[in-house]
Amino acid sequence: MARLYFENALGRILEHADGYAWLHYHAGARNLADVQAFLVHTGRLLQRRGWHKMLSDQRLLKPFTEADQALILDYWRARRVEAGPVTGAVLLSQDVFTRLSFSQIRHQANGVLAYRLFEKEAEATAWLSQQP
């Protein structure tokens, strides 16, 4: 149902048969280069497949640093100009600091990232499958 596209210390990027990138974040340590590579490979997969949807499973994710947040925002702002918007379903971590770091990204994104938040995977995938 899903095929591995890329993996590093930050997580795994899978190609889902239903036409979206499926991002599984790892719990371990990572550095800024890991974040950058993860972003680049996510964008390449979306572009290669002509997709504009992704499922972001952040349940194991450690909080993003300020440098991570800045890199993520810069990347998605530039990509939106080049390739259009991306719709995402996000499975949130139970860690309050991870939720806060993601909330800061969402707040600063000003529409660059169109996400809906979910607690359960089944609800997230059902919603994502209904998106154009």
- Domain assignment of residue 23, given as a range: 2-130
d(CA 30, CA 94): 19
Residues 58-70: what's their mean pLDDT? 92
15: CATH: 3.30.750.24
- pLDDT of 111: 67
Number of domains in the chain: 1
Query: With pLDDT > 70 as the criterion, what percentage of the chain qualifies?
Result: 94
State how beta strands 53-57 and 2-7 pair: unpaired
Position 11 pLDDT exceeds 90: yes
- pLDDT of 112: 66
Position 80 pLDDT exceeds 90: no
Position 21 pLDDT exceeds 80: yes
Query: Which residues does 123 contact at the CB level (< 8 Å), separation at least 6?
Result: none
For 66, left (φ over 0), alpha (ψ -120 to 50), or beta? alpha
pLDDT-derived band at 84, boundaries 50, 70, 90 = confident
Residues 86-122: tens digit of each pLDDT:
889 999 888 888 878 777 777 776 666 778 889 999 9
Residues 43-53: tens digit of each pLDDT:
999 999 999 99
pTM score of the predicted model:
0.88
